[in-house]
Amino acid sequence: MALRIPQGMQMLKDGYKHLQGVDEAVLRNITAVHDLSEITRTSFGPNGRNKIIINHLEKLFVTNDAATIVRELEVVHPAAKLLVMASQQQESEMGDASNLVSIVTGALLQKAEYLLRMGLHPSEIVQGYEVALTKALEILETLAVEELTVAQVRSREGLYPAVRTSIGAKQFGNEETLTDLVVEAALAVMPKDEAHFNVDNIRVVKIMGSSLYESRVVRGMVFGRSPEGVITNASKAKVAVFTCPLDVAQTETKGTVLIHNANEMLDFTKGEEKHMETMLKTLADAGVKVVVTGAGVGELALHYLNRFGILVVKVMSKFDLRRLCRVTGATALARVGAPMAEEMGYCDVVESVEIGGDRVTVFRQEAEGVSKTATIVLRGATQNHLDDLERAVDDGVNVVKVLIKDRRLCAGAGATEMELLKRLLAQGERTPGLNQHAIKKFAEALEVIPRTLAENAGLDATEVLGKLYAAHHQDDRGIMGVDVESEKHEIIDAKAAGIVDTLSAKISAIRLATETALTILRVDQIIMSKPAGGPKMPKQNQGHWDED
């Protein structure tokens, strides 16, 4: 009998961890991902609860936005990190439905765990899930309840239902107000060719105080600081934008000057002043009424700018400076001097306004379709509430972007998932071999969406799901969903109620969720090296670390 040689001896450095097999690797991974998806699951839908998260910088987040929760949790488990990446991918591509990715991945893996315990090999489950995904994507293509026309995408009536559903999932109760703001801003910056719509053209400025109902849309840009000089208003103004400081040029080297008498001392700064006056007079002569600078403004320059009646605004962000150039049509100059006619911008109104005790500077274009940027000024009681409103607005704006790419809508409220479940179960019954088990479990996993909506709304999920199964077996359109506002556990016609989701975001979420689940099921070993670095420093309260 040959001696058994221990595996992995001396092959890897000391201190590495090696987990393998179904029990150690696959099931552990499934548990980790399922735990992470359970965290975001209770935040799903209009009645989703908030989480308080304090990140490593001790910044406080109070939110029910899954993308933010997943980003701020410092996940270290390698399998759970895959779910974080999938969720972030959905957020960057679609801007919405990142919670759907997380929930469906967790449900698919939970069903896979049952199949593993029943004796199926991970490869057989992977194969069945791949077949189910292909079929699911085919079925989803047929579940669109409406396709908007180009004219509808450019109108309030067309955009309103989809944006309202998305914002309602984050800010239930405030969705009407926020949707009005988002749709107004989106239509204000909609280009002639809607394919060139850019989400960056809708800015958000948060000003504490008052209530959400005081929020409004400004055609142009709003900066949260007051002008530098005494001039605070300008209308029909030519605008010059500089990226360099408006100040006396400092020499590279230090020089020493010997002054003999009082006259020499008085004359010493005259040349400097003369030069600055001449330079800024050329701006005034060119008709410039507003100067924007991306760096500092010297006291001497400010004195002459006030004298010439020029309004000065300091914008510290170079990205905001570029956006302002888009709004006014100016070119940012790297040298101080009179800009040429084509380098100057134009703005109808530049004014300093007080909003809730904060002075802000507003650049506003009065004419229709001139401004390529709109700003939503959000008001609210606390900084955390404002941050959450901003996240909801961001999701609403992304829905507009997705609708322009793909104008198809599907029913919300869990109706689409329920219809997909019904049709996939029927497909599983017709499939021979071991694949049928995986296809059926894939279908059952989709039940998690209506179930979660019902549970989060405080309804009896079993009763609601029973009614949904019955309704979908009588009707093939896939429009019956969970009524989260009903007290009698009723179901609702989602299309008639105006609860609609963008179909492409739904397709993307289910594809990403399935691919994440498959990647995790394909893993059979985890090999982790020892973390770099020496021993950890002792805690400070145990005396000074260098005492010995």
Q: Residue 8 has what pLDDT?
A: 47
Q: Residue 108 has what pLDDT?
A: 92
- In this structure, the number of other CB atoms found within 10 A of the CB of residue 84 comes to 20
Q: Residue 538 has what pLDDT?
A: 60
Q: Residue 305 has what pLDDT?
A: 81
User: How far, in Å, CA of 514 to CA of 133, rounded?
Assistant: 7
If residue 334 lies in a helix (H) or strand (E), which one and from where to where? none
Q: CB neighbours of 182 closer than 8 A, spacing ≥ 6?
A: 163, 167, 202, 376, 393, 396, 397, 400
User: How far, in Å, CA of 348 to CA of 168, rounded?
Assistant: 36
3-state secondary structure of 53: strand
Range in 73-82, 118-127, 229-238, 404-413 with the lowest mean pLDDT: 229-238
- Residue 165's nearest CA partner among 460, 504, 495 is 495
User: How far, in Å, CA of 174 to CA of 179, rounded?
Assistant: 9
- Residue 221's nearest CA partner among 368, 362, 326 is 362
User: How far, in Å, CA of 153 to CA of 128, rounded?
Assistant: 39
Burial label, 28 (beta-carbon count in 10 A; 0-12, 13-18, 19+): middle
Q: Residue 161 has what pLDDT?
A: 85
Q: How would residue 545 be classed by pLDDT, with cut points 50, 70 and 90?
A: low
Cβ atoms of 485 and 390 closer than 8 Å: no
Look at phi and psi of residue 359 and say left if phi exceeds 0, alpha if psi is from -120 to 50, else beta. Answer: beta
- Positive or negative, the CA dihedral 65, 66, 70, 73 is positive
Count how many residues are written for the chain.
548
Residue 72 has pLDDT above 50, yes or no: yes
Cβ atoms of 429 and 483 closer than 8 Å: no
User: How far, in Å, CA of 18 to CA of 2, rounded?
Assistant: 25
Residue 2 has pLDDT above 60, yes or no: no
Q: What is the pLDDT of residues 7-52, one digit of tens each?
A: 545 677 777 777 777 777 788 888 888 888 888 889 888 888 888 9
Share of the chain above pLDDT 70, in %: 93
Cβ atoms of 378 and 359 closer than 8 Å: no
Residue 4 has pLDDT above 70, yes or no: no
Q: Residue 1 has what pLDDT?
A: 47
Q: In the chain, what are the domain boundaries?
A: 17-145+411-528
Q: Residue 10 has what pLDDT?
A: 63
Q: CB neighbours of 506 closer than 8 A, spacing ≥ 6?
A: 97, 100, 140, 410, 416
Cβ atoms of 79 and 32 closer than 8 Å: yes
Share of the chain above pLDDT 90, in %: 6
The two tokens of residue 132 are 């189910």
Name the residue type at position 411: A
The gap from C-alpha 273 to its chain's centroid, in whole angstroms, comes to 49
Cβ atoms of 123 and 524 closer than 8 Å: no
**First and final CA of the chain: distance in angstroms?**
56
CA distances from 242 to 104, 211, 346, 373 (A): 50, 36, 15, 20
- Residue 450's nearest CA partner among 480, 485, 495 is 480
- Positive or negative, the CA dihedral 423, 424, 426, 427 is positive
Average pLDDT score over residue span 344-366: 80
Average pLDDT score over residue span 253-271: 75
Sequence-ordered alpha helix ranges (H) in 207-317: 262-268, 270-285, 299-307
- Residue 493's nearest CA partner among 511, 477, 509 is 477
- Positive or negative, the CA dihedral 222, 227, 230, 234 is negative
User: How far, in Å, CA of 173 to CA of 167, rounded?
Assistant: 10
- Residue carrying the six token digits 């997380």: 102
Q: Residue 215 has what pLDDT?
A: 86
Mean pLDDT of the chain, nearest integer = 83
If residue 506 lies in a helix (H) or strand (E), which one and from where to where? helix 503-521
Average pLDDT score over residue span 59-74: 86
Burial label, 261 (beta-carbon count in 10 A; 0-12, 13-18, 19+): exposed
Cβ atoms of 325 and 375 closer than 8 Å: no
Q: What is the pLDDT of residues 106-139, one digit of tens each?
A: 999 999 989 888 888 888 889 999 999 999 999 8
User: How far, in Å, CA of 401 to CA of 394, rounded?
Assistant: 11
User: How far, in Å, CA of 18 to CA of 6, rounded?
Assistant: 13
Q: Report pTM.
A: 0.82
Q: Residue 514 has what pLDDT?
A: 93
Strand pairing category for 144-147 and 408-411 = antiparallel
CATH code that applies to domain 17-145+411-528: 1.10.560.10
Q: What is the pLDDT of residues 451-494, one digit of tens each?
A: 998 888 888 888 888 888 888 888 887 788 888 887 777 888 88
Cβ atoms of 249 and 272 closer than 8 Å: no
- In this structure, the number of other CB atoms found within 10 A of the CB of residue 274 comes to 10
Q: CB neighbours of 349 closer than 8 A, spacing ≥ 6?
A: 234, 235, 362, 363, 364, 365, 366
Q: What is the pLDDT of residues 132-185, one digit of tens each?
A: 999 999 988 888 888 888 888 888 888 888 888 888 888 888 888 889 899 988
